[in-house]
Amino acid sequence: MKKCTAFILGFLAILIPKTSTYAQPTYQYSINLKDHKTHKVEVILDIPESFRPKEGTTFQLPKTVPGTYAEYDYGRFVTKFKAFDESGAHLKVKRKKKNSFIIQEGGLSKISYTFKSTWKGFYLPFIFPPAGCAFIPDEYAVINGGMFGYVSEGIEKPYQISLLLPGGMNAFASAPKTQHDQGTHFHLENYHEVIDHPILVTPQQSALVNVANTEVSVAAHTPFDSSSYRMAIVLEEVMEAIEKFVGETPVDNYSYLIFYTDKTKLQKVMNKIIEDGKNGPFRTFRLISGLGLKSMLGSGALEHGTSSMYYLPGIYDKGHEKELPDIAIHEFMHIYAPLSVHSEYIGNFDYASPKMSKHLWLYEGVTEYFAELIQLQGGLVPLHISLNSNFKNKISDGLDWPEGMSFTAMSENVFDKPYKKQYGKVYTRGAVLAMLLDFEIMDLTDGKKTLKDVVFNLSKTYGSDKSIPEDELINIFVNEVHPDLIHFFNDYIMGSKELDIKAGFEKVGISYTDSISQVFPGLPWGRRKDVRIISDSRDGNTKVLKIKEGANTPFKQGDIIKEPNMLRYYDFDPETARLRDNDSEFTIDIIRDGKPQQVSIQLKSKKRKIWRLSFPMNQADMSEKQKMLFELWTKGRP
């Protein structure tokens, strides 16, 4: 559909006021979501008279944005770019590569361009969905700062983003907001704030919860009614665990912006593949792209200063909130690193030619570690599962690491081969590095300091507005603890020495072995496939689906298992986090024929090999220091 630029400019001028409610000159972005009918929108930038360049200038869209570690080139999604002077006459524009538009004359008063959805179409490299944009008429919109550019002189000037919304639609962000007629206006202090405040447009309402001193808003767009309220209930427990860990947070308000896709769209793709009998990865990618679901290849979330944006694929019917806590804690904890503790490469981000910081060990590794530690210390995850599932999986993946490559080298070269292939390890190896760093800090200070203490202290010293020199961050970190801490950084973070997991765990009274083969408690019915147990996403229950004939089991088909983790980690005693005795017995709560009851499970001893096993040492074998550090690590300070 061809749009008339002059008509849209005049139309928006009537409905969206040109002057900001703030009494200062402001760059004003306007988007009409009320009348658009496609997967793209017209973006209009009004430049106040005092900001208009007298000579030529450059309009720049970002190459990438903070928190992402790939070159996105948002300019790829811009078409029909036009520049106007005060009289409405066109100014000459020359496009330079993907992201720059050179306006060759002075007097620039207005810019207009079309921005296409990054979620739809076949574009490589594809943009990580929580950093991208989508515009579905009368249904929803996801707006991220990458779709907005800046003129050469405009990074530090104030901005306003005005949205004209269809009736019944709401726009949510953590930025200050005002309403005027059908327009919603977000007020940003500078261009960095534009990038830092994603917007979710949805007909659904938001919900509020509180954590410590922070008011938390939850806004969700899903195929289900009242999703924001249901997710707020789930997040309230998460917030309580965070509050126990952080005490007082550095932000007064925070927004969770959550987008779930509709499962029926994915089903269309799967049905098409089955019907055609052609299911190659390239064809599947093309089909997903055609439905605007290309982003299912990159689900996840992106952190911002006072909010986080989530894209979660449509694979759930009900109970779809259950996978939220882990990722929500991770994104919230980014308010410390890199948002409050960061180097100049983050604080003075160069959107045109970004330099990547070497400190992903801090920004992602420490944050992911804190997310696990909050769940452990907050009682959301028991110790035996934290050790033998969560951390075990991170250790297993993190040890698969190129010989001779340092974590800092990977970080600062993450755009390039062979380093970019290792980026995903920030969430596994990075978290393990952070765990071992925490153990080292506790050991060097006899428990007087932890990794959390160091990060929180630096966050108070520096905060979001003050950057640490890139090459001084590690030394500043070391100075907060003990001179000998530099050896850890030299060996494992700036160097590539093999990680000593066993020695690290021993500092806090935990035994660890890479592999062990001996007699362990085993399932009473032989192989796991003798009893088929499934978690049903439609109602959130774990059910006994099928039992192989002759299997020796106390379960019956149709039983609902109320404590599925008891069965998954049957060989661990949840009270002690240690292996159960051979031939031991335990009970598990179930619902059978609608009635609650217990069944008794007798474990048969069998010789097995277990990899990367961790559990507390016997108290008699722990030193007083190990006992103290064990309590500090597993429970936090009283």
Q: Which domains does the chain have, with CATH numbers?
A: 5-202 (2.60.40.3650), 204-331 (1.10.390.10), 336-509+619-638 (1.10.390.10), 514-615 (2.30.42)
440 pLDDT exceeds 90? yes
Straight-line distance from the first to the last Cα atom of the chain, in angstroms, rounded to the nearest whole number: 63
Give 57-94 pLDDT, tens digit per residue: 999 999 999 999 889 999 999 999 999 999 999 999 99
What per-residue confidence (pLDDT) applies to 165?
Answer: 93
Sheet strands (E) in 16-116: 27-32, 40-46, 57-60, 78-84, 93-96, 100-103, 110-116
User: How far apart, in whole angstroms, are the C-alpha atoms of residue 241 and residue 262?
Assistant: 30
Segment 133-144 shows an average pLDDT of 93
What per-residue confidence (pLDDT) applies to 324?
Answer: 79
20 pLDDT exceeds 50? no
- What is the number of other CB atoms lying within 10 angstroms of the CB of residue 628? 16
What per-residue confidence (pLDDT) applies to 140?
Answer: 93
Q: Classify 474 as helix, strand or coil.
A: helix
Higher pLDDT, 167 or 30: 30
Give 298-351 pLDDT, tens digit per residue: 578 999 999 999 988 654 444 556 667 888 999 999 999 999 999 999 999 999
Give 89-111 pLDDT, tens digit per residue: 999 999 998 999 999 999 999 99
User: How far apart, in whole angstroms, are the C-alpha atoms of residue 287 and residue 517?
Assistant: 47
Segment 393-404 shows an average pLDDT of 96
Q: What is the residue whose two structure tokens read 């008011």?
A: 215
253 pLDDT exceeds 70? yes
What per-residue confidence (pLDDT) applies to 19?
Answer: 40
Mean pLDDT, the chain, rounded, equals 87
Confidence at 520, pLDDT banded by 50, 70, 90: confident
Measured over the CA atoms of residue 256, residue 257, residue 262 and residue 268, the dihedral's sign is negative
Angle between helices 367-377 and 324-333 (to 10 degrees): 120
9 pLDDT exceeds 50? no
Sequence-distant (≥ 6) Cβ neighbours of residue 275 within 8 angstroms: none
What per-residue confidence (pLDDT) applies to 322?
Answer: 63
Give 565-613 pLDDT, tens digit per residue: 888 888 899 989 999 988 888 899 999 999 999 999 888 888 888 899 9
Q: pTM, whole model, 2 decimals?
A: 0.88
What per-residue confidence (pLDDT) applies to 413?
Answer: 96
What per-residue confidence (pLDDT) applies to 276?
Answer: 56
Give 217-249 pLDDT, tens digit per residue: 999 998 776 778 888 888 888 888 999 999 888
359 pLDDT exceeds 50? yes
Query: Which has the minimum average pLDDT: 157-166, 396-405, 570-579?
Result: 570-579
CA 606 to chain centre: 41
What per-residue confidence (pLDDT) applies to 87?
Answer: 94
16 pLDDT exceeds 50? no
Segment 440-450 shows an average pLDDT of 98
375 pLDDT exceeds 60? yes
Higher pLDDT, 126 or 279: 126
22 pLDDT exceeds 90? no
Q: Which amino acid, residue 293?
A: L
Confidence at 296, pLDDT banded by 50, 70, 90: very low
What per-residue confidence (pLDDT) applies to 293?
Answer: 46
Segment 197-204 shows an average pLDDT of 96
Task: Give, in order, the Cα–Cα distances in Å from 356 to each of 65, 70, 155, 299, 416.
Answer: 11, 10, 20, 23, 11
Which segment, 132-141, 262-271, 496-505, is predicted with the most confidence on average?
496-505
Give 537-571 pLDDT, tens digit per residue: 556 678 888 888 888 888 999 999 888 888 888 88
The rounded percent of the chain whose pLDDT value lies above 90 is 63
Supply angle C-alpha 349, 324, 166, rounded to 5: 75
